[in-house]
Amino acid sequence: MTAVEQRVAAPTISAQLADFVRDLRYEDIPEPVIAHTKELLAHQLGLALSGQRDESARRAVQLAQQLSGPGGACTIVGDRGRADLLDAVFANAFLLGHDGRDDVIMPSGVHPGIIVEPVAWAVGETTAATGRELLVAIVAGYEVMTRLCGSVWTWGAHVPRRPNNVVAPFGAAATAARLMSLSRAQTVSALGHAGQLSTGNAEGTEQLTTCHPLLARNGVTAAILASLGVPAAAEIIEGPNGVYRSYFFQDAPPDLAAGLDSPQREFAIKHAGLKRRIGSELNMVAMELAQHVIESRGLRPAAIERVDIALPVERRAREEVWEAELAAGACGTDMRVGALRFRIANILADADIDTMRFRQAPDAEILGLLERIQLKYEDGHPIRYARLVVTMRNGHTYSAEGDTHVIEPLNWAEWLSESGRGVLSERRLKRVAQLIVDLEDSTVPELMEAVVPDE
């Protein structure tokens, strides 16, 4: 068999992913994975509810309703107004991601929840999906996004970019395709269109909150195009001009979708960490180290001469984006949430990791602290690694290092109650929590109905 014949004979990566997306059954998913998927669902519905208290997210909701016009088919979480499918996906993704606490899977750094969940809610509502179908579609979407990123560290590519810019539409399309019960050929096409709808680059941080909602929208658009019978490239991932070569500047690993049909497979969603604090997951270790050193030693900011933070060399390109924004005087909240030096300066000033200082423009104290914080990069560390060395004006130094960020377990009921306070009644919040617990026996329209405030 020639190489060309082999290529024709072997199923494409999209076809393998499509088979997985279509064939995955609720019964194939281990109980702990189902439990974690429910936990993520509760976490991200809670985030979306809390987004209703955010001015920027409220504007996104208004825009979605304005674009939709009256009488949309889909729920906007925590809102009595409705929107059309794509606009509801946009609004819910914005609500969910308004403060950057959506989930993330390391080491690739993909953010599946902000993409997959809003798509699953809206498409599941329009197709009246069961709770089981919702769970399966979410698991499939997480898997596709994570698989596609493979082992690529997108910040290290010739043109550095955020991984979601490339893989998010695939996850959205996979979830939508599953909930829309697309055929195999249509699912392959949905992924093919998704590859054409990858979008965004790493320039600027001002529009970070809008980029994920747009990517989620694009993924659903891809699935709709496929549902209308528009075919797309079967080799969109591994083709000579496909996604891997175009965005990652390398050939797609041939085993990208390997093992998806194995009963022993691991599900990527298991590795999705719930972010309990506002900020980039990659910054959490350094932030916790700073908090620990400041708190345990009772250090006052005025006595600190300098802070040196060592990070893995792979993070350089990523941090350069944030540093360029800092240097340019960008003052958006998104920038302040994500820039490591800025967050460390906040912690030094307030001796509190959960300080909300990033909501304000930097004052003289923060600017002064920023000048004393340096980043450097070292080979041979895992991607979450950070080492912090605090040098005091009296010459004393304190250091700490780590590469693990411990995520506290989530109490769903408490979390929903806290995040939905003032948005939904306590009765509704309890119902949402219970519906998620019993999701196997409920439907997406029921769940969506529960997240709408009383009149």
Q: Which residues lie near another protein (CB under 8 A)?
A: 56, 59-60, 62-63, 66-69, 71-72, 84-86, 158-161, 192-193, 195-207, 209-211, 214, 218, 221, 224-225, 228, 230-233, 235-236, 239-243, 245-247, 249, 320-321, 324, 332
Strands (E), 220-327: 304-312
Closest CB to another protein among 157 and 389?
157
Closest CB to another protein among 211 and 424?
211
Between the two ends of the chain, the Cα-to-Cα distance in Å is: 67
Closest CB to another protein among 238 and 288?
238
Closest CB to another protein among 40 and 234?
234
Closest CB to another protein among 313 and 324?
324
Q: Is 308 helix (H, G, I), strand (E, B) or coil?
A: strand
Going from the C-alpha of 441 to that of each of 83, 413, 436, the distances in angstroms are 26, 19, 9
Of 200, 177, 272, 187, the residue nearest 231 (C-alpha): 187
d(CA 181, CA 183): 6
Closest CB to another protein among 87 and 288?
87
At closest approach, how far in Å is the CB of 160 from another protein?
A: 7
Closest CB to another protein among 200 and 312?
200
Closest CB to another protein among 35 and 159?
159
Of 217, 404, 202, 400, the residue nearest 320 (C-alpha): 202
At closest approach, how far in Å is the CB of 58 from another protein?
A: 10
d(CA 80, CA 91): 13
150 Ramachandran zone, left/alpha/beta (phi>0; psi -120 to 50): left
Torsion of CA 249, 250, 255, 256, to 10 degrees: -10
Number of H helices, E strands in the chain: 19, 6
At closest approach, how far in Å is the CB of 26 from another protein?
A: 27
Overall residue count recorded for the chain in this entry: 455
At closest approach, how far in Å is the CB of 207 from another protein?
A: 4
The DSSP H or E segment spanning 398 is: strand 397-402
Closest CB to another protein among 133 and 325?
325
d(CA 95, CA 334): 14
- Return the structure tokens found at 179: 């909930």
Closest CB to another protein among 149 and 436?
149
Closest CB to another protein among 108 and 198?
198
SS (H, E, C) 13-34: HHHHHHHHHHHCCHHHCCHHHH
Q: What is the phi/psi pair of residue 15, to 5°?
A: -65, -40
Half-sphere exposure of residue 193, counting CA atoms within 13 Å on the CB side? 27
Cis before residue 118, ω within 30 degrees of 0? no
d(CA 71, CA 84): 8
- Return the structure tokens found at 241: 């001009």
Torsion of CA 283, 289, 290, 291, to 10 degrees: 110
The residues near 27 (Cβ < 8 Å, ≥ 6 apart) are none
